[in-house]
Every structure is written in structure tokens, then in C-alpha cells.
Amino acid sequence: MWKKSFLVFALVALMVGAVFAQSITFWTTEVESNRMQRIQALATIFEAQTGIKVNVVPVQENAVFKRFIAAKAAGTLPDIMEAGIEPLVLLGSEGLMDTQLNAEVINHFGDVYTGVKRLMYAGNGGYYGIPFHAWVQGIWYHKNWLDAKNLGAPTTWYNILEAAKELNDPAKGVYGFVLPKKADSYAEQVFTEIALANGARPFDAKGNVTLNTPQMIEAFRFYKALGKYSMPGFTTVLDALNAYLSGKAAMIFYSTYIMDDIAVSEVQKKRIHSFDPQLVKNTGFANKMMNIRTTSYGQVVGLGILKPSKDKSDAVKFAEFLMTGDNYIYWLHMAPGGMNPTRRSIATNPKFLDNEVLKRYGAAKIANIIAALDNVERFDFYNGKVVTKMSKLSSNFVIGKAINLMFANNWTPEQTAEWAQKEAERVLKSQ
């Protein structure tokens, strides 16, 4: 099996030892011990192949900025780092990322998904980071239920609403949807994709709050209409997951972290105490949403080569090493479904599919899921810039509260949008 061969090679490399040469420092936010073991194995193989030693430094995700400030003052910045899109773009906007070298790596592969590249674009052909892996969120649905009623895939507003209406059967304890109605981040994530499909954003290019525009009102209107065919109550992400697994919901919004819940008996039984072996076969994934435009939602983790590095060529070699063949797959298998490749060719690589979770979906279905990365977008990144004000709205659950109040008070979409507009303005003035 290729994994065993990979680990044997890592062990041999450890015994051979390193050729004493230059070294680079690599920061990673994958701090768990089992993940660090994999990263250290990769660093050892890289050293054996190139003579370049990699000093792997684990950094807690929420401590990246604090550590970065201290390292900059001490002159100990890394040569390359792995982190979420937020720190990479923010540090890049301060001139600390080598945007042209990042672009060279992206262009070297030539098959990086369009959406993830767009999120890290810095202008002038450069990138704040190299998209490394990602998860996506969309609609997971009982494909066999939709097929039985000749319903189209739930990728358009019309199809989504039509399927929810047709499959909603409360008398039998089955609902067309489980839609988040609680004032939390899950509600904001779901609403993000809906709003972006209608060309609506919380801020315009000048930073003005735009939560009461006609496009945003229509997004709230669609959300409320979908709520008619959703499980009653102020449902949460766990309600959605459990309802889908137990056959009580035709469709739910969820990230690719659901993949083992659907496919693996031991995992599914922890949720609902039973296992449906046909569920993975009968599950479909809507990898995009369309109304007046096409979009998807997700999170991207990238590699960034730092401008102050004195060993940039070695950092480039390491970035390319990590995103090539078996090395890349070995990293991604730390979290199957949660870590999806940003390279199209890897998504269809048989070795990538040689995994307990992924092989149960099959090559075509996996490729369809990961293709969501072609259209991935977020509220907090727009035209190569971080929308810093968005973090204040998110931390105060402005959108989640608006959705919660819309259902709790039976507000119209117009009332909901106006409340959200005023609440966003109040939050921004108070902080």
C-alpha cells in the first residue's frame, strides 16, 4: 500500500541523516501531535532529497499574529508559513508576503482551482498566499428522493425551493430542509452563499454597510420562503446533521466535514446510533448556488513565502514539494473531507481516493464536491482585500440575529434588512 511505502521512506530518510546545508523555518497551524508527526516526516524526506533542513514550528491558529509580531522584532520570522487565509492576506497587505513568488508556485502547477486563487489575489499578477487545502460548504441532499420526483439538482434558488416544497412532509416527520434559525455563525455561513448568489454583500467597495439593498432584501425573502419547508424551531447545525443522517430532512447546508458522518459506520452511529450503508451512495452535493450569479462558500488554508526570507528559493522548493504527488496526499489525509486539494489533478488522483472515507464516495462524486472550489467566496474577502469590518459583524452575530428575529417576530424581509442595517451601523460605531 502506498501509505506504508511512504512511511518506510520517511524512516529510511531519518536513518540516512541530513546533508549539512542551508535550512529554512516553516510555521504551521497544524499543532496536534499526530499531524505534527506527518509534517516532520515530510520535512525529513525533503531534507533527504534536497539537503535543505526544515525547522518545523507549530503555532496555534489564534496566536499567529502575536507570534508574528514577536518574531519580527527578534528577527526570527519564518521563511514560509501555513495558515488560514485571514492571516496570509492581512500580512500580505502589510507587504510581508512575496506575492510574486507565491504566484510562481501557483503558475508552476497550473491546475489550482479558480475560486481559491481569487480569494488570495493581491493584484498585479501576485498572490498573498498559495492555496493549499480547503473545505467547502453547500447543500447535501438525498439524491434518490429528488430523482424519484424528477426534481432538478438543488443548485438554483428555484430548484432548491421547489425540492424543499415537494419533499416536505411534516405529518411523517420529514422536512424539506433544516435551515439554521438561531443567532449563530452557522446561520451567517448559510446566508452568505444565498446572498452572494444574488449579488448581495454586507459592504460595498467603499466600506459602506449595504444590508438593506434590494438584492439583500431578496436574499432574506428567499431564506424566509425556504423556512416554510424547514424543521420547526430555532434549529442548529447539530439539528441539521442529525436530521439528515436519520432521514428526517431532504436537504441541509453543511461543510465537507460531514463526509465521514455519512460514509463511516462508526462515526454515524455516534450521531444517531444506527447506520445506513446506502446513504453515501444516495447522497448528492450541490457544489454551487445560482440565482443571478454563481457562488459557493468555504474556507481556504494557504502557504505563504515571506518577503523578508533570505532563503526564498528553498522556500519555493518546499512549497512545491508539499503540493506534489504523494507528499501532498499524505498531508491531505490528515483530515479527509476537511482538507481538500486545491489542485484539480490531485482531486482525481487514485492515491488521494485511497482512503477509508473518500473511496466510499468514488472518483466522480469526490471531483464534483471539490469542484466547489472554482466558485468559493466569502463576505470577509473582496477584490483581494480583507473586509475587516466584517469580523465585527460576525463576532456580534448581526446576520444570525437578523435571521433569528425574522422568524421569531415574523418580520418581513424589508423589516429584517432594515434592522440588520441599523444594527450593523450601531455595532461599528460602538467599537
Q: Tally Cβ neighbours within 10 Å of residue 23.
A: 16
Question: Residues 147, 289: one domain?
Answer: yes
Question: Residues 416, 367: one domain?
Answer: no
Question: Residues 412, 273: one domain?
Answer: yes
Q: Any idea which residue has 507565491 for its cell?
A: 102
Question: Residues 43, 184: one domain?
Answer: no
Strand partners for 386: 381
Number of structural domains the chain divides into? 2
Would you say residue 19 has pLDDT above 70? no
Would you say residue 15 has pLDDT above 60? no
In this structure, what CATH number is given to the domain that contains residue 240? 3.40.190.10
Determine the structural domain holding residue 411 and report its residue range: 136-296+378-430
Q: Report the alpha-carbon distance of residue 430 to residue 356 in Å, rounded.
A: 49
Cβ proximity of 257 and 162 under 8 Å:
no
The pLDDT value recorded for residue 5 is 58
Question: Residue range 107-118: average pLDDT?
Answer: 96
User: What percent of the chain is predicted at pLDDT more than 90?
Assistant: 90
Question: Residues 176, 40: one domain?
Answer: no
Would you say residue 384 has pLDDT above 80? no
Question: Residues 15, 124: one domain?
Answer: yes
Query: Among residues 33, 360, 385, which one has the least CA distance to residue 207?
Result: 385
Would you say residue 102 has pLDDT above 80? yes
Question: Residues 279, 235: one domain?
Answer: yes
Mean pLDDT of the chain: 94
Question: Residues 96, 194: one domain?
Answer: no
pLDDT, one tens digit per residue, over 134-178 is 999 999 999 999 999 999 999 999 999 999 999 999 999 999 999
- CA 314 centroid distance within chain: 28
Would you say residue 373 has pLDDT above 50? yes
Question: Residues 120, 144: one domain?
Answer: no
Position 221 confidence tier, pLDDT thresholds 50, 70, 90: very high
pLDDT, one tens digit per residue, over 253-271 is 999 999 999 999 999 999 9
Would you say residue 383 has pLDDT above 90? no
Would you say residue 17 has pLDDT above 50? no
Would you say residue 379 has pLDDT above 50? yes
